[in-house]
């Protein structure tokens, strides 16, 4: 495998680098980086994201930082169909179930992660082999006031329920644009939380995810302003 690309020095450089990938297949990109392309993502669900991090020169690695730390930009690949509709929700971050006293939307991981995002949409219809999936047009996004408001409302609703000890009452149905769902190695994984009576108990770890309707809007918004 070729070494990871040098980190881009400016946002514009990152965006230009990303734009050069538009129209290329994952096979082309991986071959150039001398990385083997898996036949299935079943055992390597994060492969596409890691490939793009590698070729774009992301710096954070496994750290809890933005992918391009110096630029304060988070990288998100997103699978879409040929019309631009997202095929999956987008994982944002693990949800803290403890230590939420005094937590606000402004201080939340979700708010920080979504402050500035380089979206790399990839035409990733299931019938396409991994190597034949095509990078569409990447774009950099920050939430509009309206989008931030929607996100903040959902975050507050879900966080309130966690604080009230109702985490196990939460299903993916809650939230207009942001949902809370399991995020774990398997259904046996456990983390600490409080129940309704304020007692500690072990529950499935959860994560915040952006619903596809929301990310679809981002993509359409970008197409309009392009």
Q: Site residues (CB under 7 A) for DNA?
A: 40-46, 48-50, 52-53, 60, 62-64, 67, 74-79, 88-91, 93-94, 96, 109, 113, 122, 124, 126, 171-173, 179, 181-192, 204-205, 207, 209, 211-213
Taking the complex as a whole, the smallest distance from the CB of residue 223 to DNA amounts, in Å, to 19
What does the H/E/C string look like for 173-215? CCCCCEEEEECCCCCCCCEEEECCCCCEEEECCEEEEECHHHH
Would you say 73 or 145 has its CB closer to DNA?
Answer: 73
Taking the complex as a whole, the smallest distance from the CB of residue 135 to DNA amounts, in Å, to 12
Taking the complex as a whole, the smallest distance from the CB of residue 149 to DNA amounts, in Å, to 20
Taking the complex as a whole, the smallest distance from the CB of residue 123 to DNA amounts, in Å, to 11
HSE value, Cβ hemisphere, 13 Å, CA-based, for 219: 26
Would you say 106 or 145 has its CB closer to DNA?
Answer: 106
Taking the complex as a whole, the smallest distance from the CB of residue 49 to DNA amounts, in Å, to 2
Neighbours of 72 (CB within 10 A): 13
SS3 for 216? helix
* Dihedral sign from CA coordinates of 7, 11, 13, 18: positive
Would you say 133 or 152 has its CB closer to DNA?
Answer: 133
Would you say 20 or 145 has its CB closer to DNA?
Answer: 20
Q: Which of 122, 132, 23, 12 is nearest to 73 (CA)?
A: 12
Would you say 4 or 181 has its CB closer to DNA?
Answer: 181
Beta-sheet strands, E only, within 48-89: 74-80
């Amino acid at each position: 495998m070729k070494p990871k690309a040098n980190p881009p020095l400016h946002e514009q450089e990152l965006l230009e680098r990303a734009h050069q990938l538009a129209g290329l297949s994952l096979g082309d990109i991986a071959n150039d980086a001398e990385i083997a392309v898996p036949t299935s993502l079943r055992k390597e669900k994060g492969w596409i994201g890691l490939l793009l991090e590698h070729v774009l020169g992301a710096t954070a690695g496994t750290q809890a930082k933005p992918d391009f730390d110096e630029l304060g930009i988070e990288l998100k690949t997103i699978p879409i169909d040929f019309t631009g509709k997202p095929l999956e929700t987008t994982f944002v971050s693990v949800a803290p179930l403890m230590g939420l006293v005094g937590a606000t939307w402004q201080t939340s991981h979700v708010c920080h992660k979504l402050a500035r995002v380089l979206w790399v949409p990839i035409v990733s219809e299931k019938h396409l082999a991994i190597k034949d999936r095509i990078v569409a047009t990447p774009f950099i996004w920050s939430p509009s006031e309206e989008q931030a408001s929607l996100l903040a409302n959902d975050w507050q609703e879900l966080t309130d329920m966690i604080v009230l000890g109702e985490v196990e009452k939460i299903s993916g149905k809650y939230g207009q644009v942001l949902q809370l769902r399991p995020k774990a190695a398997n259904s046996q994984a456990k983390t600490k939380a409080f129940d309704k009576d304020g007692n500690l108990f072990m529950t499935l770890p959860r994560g915040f995810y952006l619903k596809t309707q929301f990310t679809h809007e981002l993509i359409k918004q970008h197409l309009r302003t392009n």
